[in-house]
């Protein structure tokens, strides 16, 4: 059922009739620039839209409400230790703040009703349809471009859409998740150079990583107005999923290499083929 734009006034009741569990994945993302207008758009869709859905779900007799948030609620980067679900939230931009407020709204509705509530905070999610930096990495590797990432020494958690969906499906019937916040990843944290090498292996491509110091990369990206994107390629963001593993008895069913192989196959069969068709190659 199509409900249209998501916001504070969305009519959810017809879609929620006889529904036992809601997994709320929809969100506004990738609004360029952290402006007042962007903040208002994020607030309307991600925070107030989620509040509207949660309230209507509880009124409609939904048993369990699972909300897909973001590790950006924890913060933008890690240094000497990984993020945990128990950490004090530190959202830095309008998107992250809207996701944090949505979490609070979900918790408030759960506390005031009998509806079970579950929060999941994923890091970068990849798979068919991936966008932003990850899609650009796929394109750079497929084209065989030399990449100035050889000197990057970071660690980043990521999760394939298949592993994320496996956890979400498990939480549908797992009563132990009620009232908790869960972190998720593939369980194998990679440096950006290692990620590039593994993508190249999945595509059966050769890749050249040029050793440019990270400060120089960041400075150059800043001149081009792309510092935030470069910071994600150079910085670390690691999540600790040991509590998710232990408390839920959950293990990522796919290795990161299996997830990357599936994603590379999608890219080569769709995006790369389409680009070659456009350019007559």
Residue scoring higher pLDDT (271 or 35) = 271
pLDDT in tens, 27-66: 998 765 667 788 999 999 999 999 999 999 999 999 999 9
Q: Strand pairing partners for 121?
A: 183
- 135-144, 240-249, 268-277, range with the lowest pLDDT: 268-277
Token readout for 143 is: 């084209």
In this prediction, residue 228 carries a pLDDT of 84
| Residues 118-140, mean pLDDT to the nearest whole number | 95
| Residues 116-127, mean pLDDT to the nearest whole number | 97
Alpha-carbon separation of residue 255 from 153, 166, 187 (angstroms): 22, 13, 8
In this prediction, residue 274 carries a pLDDT of 61
| Residues 249-258, mean pLDDT to the nearest whole number | 97
In this prediction, residue 225 carries a pLDDT of 86
Check if the beta carbon of residue 125 is closer than 8 Å to that of residue 187. no
Would the pLDDT of 10 be above 80?
yes
Distance of alpha carbon 248 from the chain centroid: 20
In this prediction, residue 278 carries a pLDDT of 47
The answer for residues whose C-beta is within 8 angstroms of residue 245's C-beta and 6 or more apart is 187, 251
In this prediction, residue 276 carries a pLDDT of 54
| Residues 59-77, mean pLDDT to the nearest whole number | 97
pLDDT in tens, 179-230: 899 999 999 999 999 999 999 999 999 999 999 999 999 999 999 888 888 9
Question: Over the range 222-245, which residues count as b (16 or more CB within 10 Å of their CB) and which as e?
Answer: eeeeebeebbbbbbbbbbbbeebe
Would the pLDDT of 279 be above 60?
no
In this prediction, residue 158 carries a pLDDT of 98
In this prediction, residue 33 carries a pLDDT of 65
Would the pLDDT of 175 be above 90?
no
Which domains does the chain possess? 1-121 (3.40.50.720)
| Residues 240-254, mean pLDDT to the nearest whole number | 96
Phi, psi of 239 (to 5 degrees): -115, 145
Neighbouring C-alpha atoms within 13 Å toward the C-beta of 246: 4
**Could you please report the per-residue DSSP string of the chain?**
----S-STT---HHHHTT--EEEE-------SS--HHHHHHHIIIIIIHHHHHHHHHHHTT-SEEEEE--GGGT-S--SSS-B-TTSPP---SHHHHHHHHHHHHHHHHHHHSS-EEEEEE-SEEESTT--HHHHHHHHHHHHT--BS-TT----B-EEEHHHHHHHHHHHHS-GGGTT-EEE---S--B-HHHHHHHHHHHHT----B----HHHHHHHHHHTT-HHHHHHHHS-B-B--HHHHHHHT---SS-HHHHHHHHHHHIIIIIIHHHHHHTT-
In this prediction, residue 140 carries a pLDDT of 95
Active site residues: 95
- Nearest CA to 184 among 141, 224, 125? 125
In this prediction, residue 275 carries a pLDDT of 56
In this prediction, residue 104 carries a pLDDT of 98
Distance of alpha carbon 265 from the chain centroid: 20
Report strand pairing: 64-68 vs 21-24: parallel
In this prediction, residue 132 carries a pLDDT of 87
Provide the pLDDT confidence category of residue 176 given band limits of 50, 70 and 90. Answer: confident
pLDDT, the chain, mean: 93
In this prediction, residue 17 carries a pLDDT of 95
């Amino acid at each position: 059922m199509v409900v249209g734009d998501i916001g504070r006034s969305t009519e959810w009741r017809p879609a929620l009739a006889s529904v036992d569990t809601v997994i709320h994945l929809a969100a506004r993302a990738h609004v360029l620039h952290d402006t007042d207008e962007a903040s208002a758009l994020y607030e309307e869709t991600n925070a107030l839209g989620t509040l509207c859905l949660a309230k209507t779900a509880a009124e409609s007799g939904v048993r369990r409400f699972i909300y897909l948030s973001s590790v950006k609620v924890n913060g933008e980067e890690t240094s000497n230790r990984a993020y945990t679900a128990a950490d004090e939230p530190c959202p830095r931009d309008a998107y992250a703040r809207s996701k944090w407020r949505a979490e609070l709204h979900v918790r408030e509705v759960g506390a005031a009703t009998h509806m079970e509530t579950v929060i999941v905070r994923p890091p970068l999610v990849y798979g068919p349809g991936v966008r932003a930096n990850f899609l650009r990495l796929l394109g750079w590797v497929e084209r065989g471009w030399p990449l100035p990432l050889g000197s990057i020494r970071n660690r980043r958690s990521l999760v394939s859409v298949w592993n994320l969906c496996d956890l979400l499906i498990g939480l549908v019937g797992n009563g132990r998740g009620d009232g908790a916040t869960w972190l998720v990843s593939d369980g194998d944290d990679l440096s950006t150079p290692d990620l590039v090498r593994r993508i190249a292996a999945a595509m059966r491509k050769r890749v050249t990583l040029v050793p440019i110091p990270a400060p120089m990369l960041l400075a150059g990206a800043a001149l081009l107005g792309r510092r935030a994107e470069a910071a994600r390629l150079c910085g670390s963001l690691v999540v600790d999923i040991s509590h998710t593993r232990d408390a839920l008895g959950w293990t990522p069913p796919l290795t990161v290499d299996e997830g990357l192989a599936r994603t590379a196959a999608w890219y080569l069969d769709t995006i790369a083929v389409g680009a070659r068709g456009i350019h007559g190659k």
